[in-house]
């Protein structure tokens, strides 16, 4: 009875979070409280399942990234990368891809990376006769490619969940396989659009915001402010670099390293820090922490062990792995990738501990299946693409993303399972 109720509660969480404008994490916390009452789990036990370390990671990373966004560090990097193509239009999609990858790999949440890169890439495409939809998709692919780095948000969630359950996962292989798969998706994206000759209508109404006119005026009229701004950007970039080195080179906790860099920058530049506090991704924090707390209740009452034993008892581990990948792709296309990974990774732990399938391979397949479908218009990243194309193109873009998303729901689990689980 409790097992059925617990699984039904998980379905209700994702359904309500997808169909109603309510944070899925808040729903999960309420459902966790209700489930703990039904299963005689104490309030203290419920609280102990709240992921404090994950909260620090998300707050620290998004705060640091928010400071970099507010003082123009990120925008300057993006503009420099886009201007580097110097008229070579074929490179535009790849610049978009690589910048989104870089942002996500240093700790920016996937929607944040897409929100920064996609509008610039889409506008640049409209101005230069390439496809805005293609550039939007490349931004989504790039963000997915970078999100599973050891300091990436999704990478931290997956690796943290695995380590918490005593599962050894190779972070380099996890990042390398997910990155490589998304590169292949990006190559396919470019080939498909170029083969069909997709191009946008004329876009004379777009102004070149990257031109030097306004920037030159700012330099001419406010040289001291510009100098201070450049100094702040340089120090911010140094802080981000120090965080990455501390995490990757010395094993420092990602959240604490990011929070430390953020506090130092806040002390040096209090006005910027004050304006950046709104950049802390509290909805994402609530979402992830709520889902993880609910999963901790499932684990405490034995639901995850029962599911893992059930999958193992099927006698077909490859089939079970494929089912998990399809679940990840389907749910993530309509709900949060962060949320579904927070649910599926712990659920797969008992199955992975059985030794039938290499843990890193299956987790990589799960990550790919759950992330490449983020271009669905029901996903935040897909919605960002629709919102940033010209109004007259939005209906067509929505339909194109709908077809694209459903195609990936089928293709991504099958191909990632075949290459990463079966062949590796």
Closest among 383, 311, 287, 265 to 29, alpha carbons compared: 287
% of the chain exceeding 90 in pLDDT: 28
**Residue ranges of domains in the chain:** 2-48+84-210+281-423
Are 288 and 61 spatial neighbours (Cβ–Cβ below 8 Å)?
no
Count Cβ neighbours within 10 Å for each residue of 189-201 and write b for 16 or more, e otherwise.
Answer: bbeebeeeeeebe
Average pLDDT estimate for 274-302: 83
Q: Which two tokens stand for residue 268?
A: 């040096």
Count Cβ neighbours within 10 Å for each residue of 121-159 and write b for 16 or more, e otherwise.
Answer: bbbbbbbeebbbbbbbbbbbbbbbbbbbbbbbbbbbbbb
Per the prediction, the chain carries an average pLDDT of 82
Alpha carbon dihedral 54, 55, 56, 59, in 10-degree steps, equals: 120
% of the chain exceeding 70 in pLDDT: 87
Q: Residue 82's pLDDT band (boundaries 50, 70, 90)?
A: low
pLDDT at 289: 86
Are 49 and 296 spatial neighbours (Cβ–Cβ below 8 Å)?
yes
pTM for this entry: 0.68
Distance CA 285, CA 259 (A): 15
Q: What is the pLDDT of residues 339-398, one digit of tens each?
A: 778 778 877 877 787 777 888 999 999 999 999 998 888 777 888 888 878 878 888 888
Highest mean pLDDT among 57-66, 165-174, 232-241, 272-281: 232-241
Q: What is the pLDDT of residues 20-75, one digit of tens each?
A: 888 888 999 999 999 998 888 888 889 998 988 878 887 888 798 889 889 988 77
Are 344 and 366 spatial neighbours (Cβ–Cβ below 8 Å)?
yes
Q: Residue 221's pLDDT band (boundaries 50, 70, 90)?
A: very low
């Amino acid at each position: 009875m409790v097992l059925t109720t617990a699984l039904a509660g998980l379905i209700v969480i994702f359904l309500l979070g997808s169909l109603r404008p309510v944070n899925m994490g808040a729903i999960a916390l309420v459902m966790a409280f209700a489930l703990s009452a039904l299963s005689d789990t104490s309030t203290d036990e419920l609280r102990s399942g709240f992921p404090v370390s994950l909260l620090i990671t998300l707050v620290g990373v998004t705060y640091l990234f928010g400071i970099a966004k507010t003082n123009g560090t990120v925008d300057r990097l993006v503009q420099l990368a886009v201007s580097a193509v110097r008229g070579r239009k074929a490179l535009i999609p790849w610049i978009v891809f690589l910048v989104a990858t870089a942002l996500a790999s240093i700790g920016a949440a996937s929607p944040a990376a897409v929100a920064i890169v996609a509008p610039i890439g889409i506008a640049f495409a409209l101005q230069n006769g390439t496809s805005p939809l293609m550039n939007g998709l490349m931004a989504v692919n790039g963000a997915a490619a970078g999100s599973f780095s050891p300091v990436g948000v999704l990478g931290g969630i997956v690796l943290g969940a695995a380590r918490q359950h005593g599962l050894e996962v190779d972070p380099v292989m996890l990042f390398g396989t997910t990155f490589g798969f998304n590169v292949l998706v990006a190559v396919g994206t470019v080939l498909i659009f170029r083969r069909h000759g997709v191009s946008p209508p004329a876009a004379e109404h777009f102004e070149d915001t990257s031109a030097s006119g306004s920037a030159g005026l700012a330099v001419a009229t406010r040289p001291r402010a510009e100098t201070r701004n450049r100094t702040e950007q340089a120090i911010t970039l140094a802080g981000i670099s120090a965080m990455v080195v501390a995490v990757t080179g010395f094993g420092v906790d990602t959240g604490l390293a990011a929070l430390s860099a953020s506090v130092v920058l806040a002390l040096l530049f209090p006005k910027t820090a004050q304006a950046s506090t709104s950049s802390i991704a509290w909805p994402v924090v609530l979402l992830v922490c709520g889902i993880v707390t609910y999963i901790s209740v499932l684990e405490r009452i034995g639901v995850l062990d029962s599911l893992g034993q059930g999958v193992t008892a099927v006698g077909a581990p490859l089939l079970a792995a494929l089912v998990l990948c399809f679940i990840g792709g389907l749910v993530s296309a309509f709900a949060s990738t962060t949320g579904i990974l927070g649910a599926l990774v712990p659920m797969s732990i008992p199955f992975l501990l059985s030794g039938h399938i290499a843990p890193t391979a299956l987790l990589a397949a799960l990550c790919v299946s759950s992330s490449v479908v983020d271009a669905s218009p029901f996903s935040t990243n897909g919605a960002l693409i629709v919102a940033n194309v010209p109004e007259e193109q939005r209906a067509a873009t929505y339909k194109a993303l709908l077809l694209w998303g459903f195609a990936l729901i089928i293709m991504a689990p099958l191909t990632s399972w075949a290459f990463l689980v079966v062949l590796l």
